[in-house]
Amino acid sequence: MPAVTDTIFAEEVLTAGLPVLVEFTASWCAPCHMMAPVLAEIAREEGHRLKVVQLDVDTNPETTVAYGVLSMPTLMLFRAGEPVRSMVGARPKRRLLQELTDVL
């Protein structure tokens, strides 16, 4: 899964042609590690209609603060440059897809 940084966030997320699911993550976050295979699978299966990226909160404080992210993992869906859905905590693939259905 590609990583984004403060520097390229606008280019990779805000101006993307597809909706973008951003996982705000950290190396020390155990639930984030549990989400990695789930998000990789979704990226593979839904890549034609959804871009999935990760942002490390420890090395990218500007974006983290700008979107008010306080807990990891936070999953935020952006569409047309705007956050349209925010979810906190690990969740199974089926539940995550259900939560995204109405905004994709």
Query: Catalytic amino acids?
Result: 29, 32
Q: pLDDT for 73-104, tens place per residue?
A: 999 999 999 999 999 999 999 999 999 998 88
Angle at 12 between CA 4 and CA 14, to 5 degrees: 115
Residue ranges covered by each domain of the chain: 3-101
Using CA atoms in the order 84, 88, 93, 94, what is the torsion angle rounded to 10 degrees? -70
Q: pLDDT for 3-14, tens place per residue?
A: 999 999 999 999
Pick the CATH number of 3-101 from 3.40.30.10, 3.55.40.10, 3.20.20.70, 3.40.1190.20: 3.40.30.10
